């Protein structure tokens, strides 16, 4: 048996609000998913991103509690260019989404920025800097 990552799941407090954030990033998520207890989207390359409401998680794990403190994981979205990192970050923050780290040129050779999704998960944006 070969174990492979197939799906990342996020627990969301407000399905419609969370899906609106990820749609604004460019993910194609059907509008009828806003009222669903579970939604998922297949990303380029085949990896899936799933969203479950707190109620859904508690239906099979009654004692589940959301974590506290800073996020320990982040979703990272590749952009086509350093300018796109800046454009996406600016657009998302102007639309009221929380910015965590403004775009900067990272020492590891990428333009990098971090947003927070509605549930406090880190959402990184990155693109290779020209050589």
Outline where the chain has alpha helix (H).
15-25, 54-60, 82-94
d(CA 101, CA 92): 13
Q: What are the residues whose beta carbons fall under 8 Å from the beta carbon of 97, sequence distance 6 or more?
A: 21, 24, 115, 116, 117, 118
- Total residues belonging to the chain: 131
Say if CB 58 and CB 71 are below 8 A apart: no
Residue 21: pLDDT band with limits 50, 70, 90? very high
User: Domains plus CATH for the chain?
Assistant: 7-60 (3.10.180.10), 74-128 (3.10.180.10)
Residue 131: pLDDT band with limits 50, 70, 90? confident
d(CA 14, CA 71): 18
Number of alpha carbons in the 13 Å side-chain half-sphere of residue 33: 20
Residue 70: predicted pLDDT? 77
Residues 49-95 pLDDT 10s: 999 999 999 999 999 998 888 777 899 999 999 999 999 999 999 99
Percent above pLDDT 90 for the chain: 88
Neighbour count for residue 118 (Cβ, 10 Å): 17
| pLDDT, mean over the chain | 94
Using a cut of 0.85, tell me whether the model's pTM lies above it. Answer: yes
Residue 25: strand, helix, or coil = helix
Residues 10-19 pLDDT 10s: 999 999 999 9
Residue predicted with more confidence, 39 or 4: 39
Number of alpha carbons in the 13 Å side-chain half-sphere of residue 9: 9
Helices vs. strands in the chain: H and E counts, helices first: 3, 7
């Amino acid at each position: 048996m070969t174990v492979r990552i197939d799906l990342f799941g996020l627990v969301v407090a407000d399905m419609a609000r969370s899906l609106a954030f990820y749609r604004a990033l460019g993910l194609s998520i059907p509008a009828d998913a806003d009222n669903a207890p579970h939604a998922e989207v297949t990303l380029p390359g085949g990896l899936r991103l799933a969203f479950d409401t707190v109620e859904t998680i508690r239906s099979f794990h009654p004692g589940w509690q959301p974590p506290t403190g800073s996020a320990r994981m982040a979703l990272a979205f590749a952009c086509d260019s350093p300018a796109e990192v800046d454009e996406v970050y600016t657009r998302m923050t102007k639309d009221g989404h929380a910015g965590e780290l403004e775009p900067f040129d990272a020492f590891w050779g990428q333009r990098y920025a971090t947003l927070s999704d509605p549930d406090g998960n880190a959402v990184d944006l990155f693109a290779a800097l020209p050589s």
